[in-house]
Amino acid sequence: MPIIEETQADAVIAVDKWIKVSKQTKSLGTSASRFVDDLRNGRNSGEWASVNVEQILPYRSETPRLLQVIRAGAMFLPILLTWLALSQVIGPFALYLQNQQASANFLWFWQQNPGKSFSGLWKLSHVALTDAAVLAFLTVLVMRITWWETSRAERSELVYIDMVSALEFHFLAVRNTKA
């Protein structure tokens, strides 16, 4: 098999692998689609040999969008929950100060809930535990997103480098044949 055909076959395999890994099978632009089609069919190699391949098939990495949206949405849940709990406890505490004990400690009141002044759901221990659970979930989620992005980026980079190298080697062979 002549060198041009070998390098073309290697380049086609590398480009197909990159398109699959970068999930661009249905989203290639017009020029990129034409380039890939010409490469697969061995057409216009001389013209494509002088083009910057990295502009036609740029590096693109996938991001875990859904996980990032969940992380962004859940980030302020502990603050929201705490302030909501405070809004439910402050009124009953003010009444307790007026009617029962003017020197009462707010945190004691929030935890003890004397006279069942507010729903037990809003007790300090419940709110703190829920906040801690949300923060633990966010910590695990951030670690998962970071691991996913890092491993995906490493894999994508290797496949992209292989593709660019295969294309360069193929187009070098094309240019040398023309010279």
CA distance 156 to 22: 7
CB atoms within 10 A of CB 110: 23
pTM across the whole model: 0.68
25, 73: one domain:
no
pLDDT tens digits for range 60-84? 877 778 888 998 989 999 999 999 9
State the average pLDDT over residues 152-160: 92
71, 133: one domain:
yes
Looking at residue 1, its pLDDT comes to: 60
pLDDT tens digits for range 2-41? 888 899 999 999 999 999 988 887 888 888 999 999 999 9
71, 137: one domain:
yes
Token pair for residue 27? 């989203």
102, 167: one domain:
no
19, 70: one domain:
no
Domain that holds residue 136: 65-150
29, 105: one domain:
no
26, 75: one domain:
no
CA distance 104 to 115: 14
pLDDT tens digits for range 82-113? 999 999 999 999 999 998 888 889 999 999 99
88, 100: one domain:
yes
32, 99: one domain:
no
146, 77: one domain:
yes
DSSP string, 11-30: HHHHHHHHHHHTT-TTT--H
71, 57: one domain:
no
Looking at residue 120, its pLDDT comes to: 92
Nearest C-alpha neighbor of 22 from the set 161, 144, 142: 161
Q: How many domains does the structure of the chain reveal?
A: 2
